[in-house]
A and B are shown apart, each in its own frame.
Chain A
Amino acid sequence: MSLEAVNLSCVRRDRVLFEQQSFTLNAGELTYLLGENGAGKTSLLRILIGFVEPAAGQVLYGGSAITHSDVRRKFNAELIYIGHKSAVDPHASAFENSRFWCAQHGVSVTQELIYSVLATLGLVGLEDIPCGQLSAGQNRRVALARLWFKATAKVWVLDEPFTALDVKGIELLERHIEAFLARGGSVILTSHQPLSHLTGWRPLELEYRL
């Protein structure tokens, strides 16, 4: 199953962000979306997952448009999206946030698995504290835990996943992405930091246009 963008164009507030973007995310491939602030990276990712309608072009998953409801369901079942907003509720704990997300996405996890993933992410002892009291980086880790829970995912769409993470956190995530690619997953991500451990990515550059 591959995610394919065909001639995508995006117009925001009468400004053309990009035109005629075509690319394919193949299994085992990492696509690194580059561009200045305001070049349209987030808009492109949001078009890819179907939140924003492109001004022209379409997004295909496994060869069919994601606007079809059957394709949409399959795509949802195999997608993890982590955006700027982390979808971590400040009133719930890291454990509860993980459980809510897994239940909502139909991912069956045991309590032990949640605790062990949170431990992997360096959140030992913080599992039951409301996330509002954790730091930005720790909140980010709670959001990123989803990448460990949903084993059926085949596509990861990550918008600035490294924001607020410390050096160890970045390395941990890069290793996890590497393992996912080796299992045949495909990843598209944006980042303003250079990738330190991951290699073999394919750049996709968006130019800032006036």
Chain B
Amino acid sequence: MRSGVYAAMFKREYTLAFRQKAELVQPLVFFVLVVSLFPLGVGPSPEILQRIGPGVIWVAAILSSLLGMERLFRDDFQNGWLEQLALTDASLAGLMAIKVFTHWLVSFVPLVIVSPLLALFLNLTEPMYWALLATLAIGTPLISLVGAIAVGLTMGLNRGGVLLALLLIPLFIPLLIFATSAIESAAMQLSYMPQLAILGALLLLAFAFTPFAISYAVRVSLN
């Protein structure tokens, strides 16, 4: 019966995400627009773009994720659904893990899908593109998991958006450093497995601990 409860959670989250298409598309368009500003701003020289490309894409990904992150718990907190979730026969940590997974699926997977286009804008070479894809695949779930803790803590506040950014951006610095360094290694035809391994380790750590931290944050906000 408990697995049914988790499946129900996924189904609801997934259905409701696609009811608010504007909220899904906005961060994605923001991401594409920010990245496309750089060739205009710093000039179309292919070497410079290739040099700054990985950093630009990653910074844009982090900023656009903050934009979409806020709505992770906002609606469910305001309409009281989180209260009802806390009273079900399932662990809140497990339910939160599913919530974050669904959020990642609908907001980051499209971002990974449009990334070839951006790689083209910024003149990334093919090895750099594969490295970018690998770092996005490992790094974006990490953003979702860690971000959800801060969203859980700030959802009770009105206008928590800026606070959320201030709390989270410093936490994403290690992610940014290892992700861009992986892509730079790829640009120089070097192995980027060590950086990926570190990102992977961070992700596994996040998998293990963040669901509990998120559910605790949610309980604090319900109090």
Write the residues of chain A forming the contact surface with B, with a CB cutoff of 8 angstroms. Answer: 49, 51-53, 73, 76-77, 79, 81, 83-92, 96, 100-101, 103-106, 130
Q: Is the CB of B158 closer than 8 A to any CB of chain A?
A: no
Given A51-B223, A104-B88, A106-B88, answer yes or no on A86-B80 (Cβ-Cβ < 8 Å).
yes
Collect the chain B residues with CB atoms within 8 Å of residue A88's CB. 79
Give complex CA distance A87, B219 in Å. 16
The reply to whether A104 and B222 form a contact with Cβ atoms under 8 Å apart is no
Task: Return chain A residues, CB-CB under 8 Å to B1.
Answer: 106
Contact of A91 with B223 in the complex, beta carbons under 8 Å: no
Report how far A87 CA is from B89 CA in the complex, Å: 17
Stretch of B6-14, B36-44, B45-53 that contacts chain A: B6-14
**Among listed B15-23, B125-133, B135-143, B162-170, interface-contacting one:** B15-23
Q: How far is the CA of A160 from the CA of B76 in the complex (A)?
A: 20
Q: For B4, what are the chain A residues with a Cβ–Cβ distance below 8 Å? A: 103, 106
Asked whether A51 and B5 contact (CB < 8 A) given A87-B80, A89-B79, A90-B79, the answer is no
Q: Is the CB of B89 within 8 A of A77?
A: yes
User: Which A residues lie within 8 Å of B89 (CB)?
Assistant: 73, 76-77, 105-106
**Which residues of B have CB within 8 Å of A101?**
84
Q: Are A103 and B5 in contact (CB under 8 A)?
A: yes
Cβ-closest chain B residue relative to A77? B89
- Confirm or deny: B86 has a beta carbon within 8 angstroms of a beta carbon on chain A: yes
- B87 contacts chain A at the CB level, 8 A cutoff: yes
CA distance A100 to B79 in the complex (A): 14
The reply to whether A104 and B85 contact each other, CB–CB distance below 8 Å, is yes
Mark contacts of B120-159 with chain A using CB atoms, 8 A cut-off: 1 yes-contact digit, 0 otherwise.
0000000000000000000000000000000000000000
Chain B residues engaging chain A, CB cutoff 8 angstroms: 1-2, 4-5, 7-9, 11-12, 15-16, 19-20, 75-76, 78-81, 83-89, 219, 222-223
In whole Å, how far is B222's beta carbon from the nearest beta carbon of chain A? 5
- Are B20's CB and A89's CB within 8 A? no
9 pairs from A and B in contact (CB 8 Å cutoff): A51-B86, A51-B219, A52-B223, A83-B80, A85-B83, A100-B12, A104-B88, A106-B4, A106-B88
Q: Is B84's CB under 8 angstroms from A92's CB?
A: no
Closest approach, in angstroms, between the C-beta of A161 and any C-beta of chain B? 14
Given contacts A77-B89, A87-B79, contact A53 B223 (CB under 8 A): yes
> Is B223's CB under 8 angstroms from A76's CB?
no
Q: How far is the CA of A105 from the CA of B86 in the complex (A)?
A: 10
Q: Contact partner of A51 among B9, B88, B222, CB < 8 A?
A: B222
- How far, in angstroms, from A106 to B7 measured CA to CA in the complex? 11
How far, in angstroms, from A106 to B84 measured CA to CA in the complex?
12
CA distance in complex: A103, B11 (Å): 10
> How far apart sit A77 and B5, CA to CA, in the bound complex (Å)?
13
Top 8 A-B residue pairs of the complex, sorted by shortest distance between their CB atoms: A85-B80, A103-B8, A91-B19, A87-B80, A87-B84, A100-B12, A87-B81, A104-B8
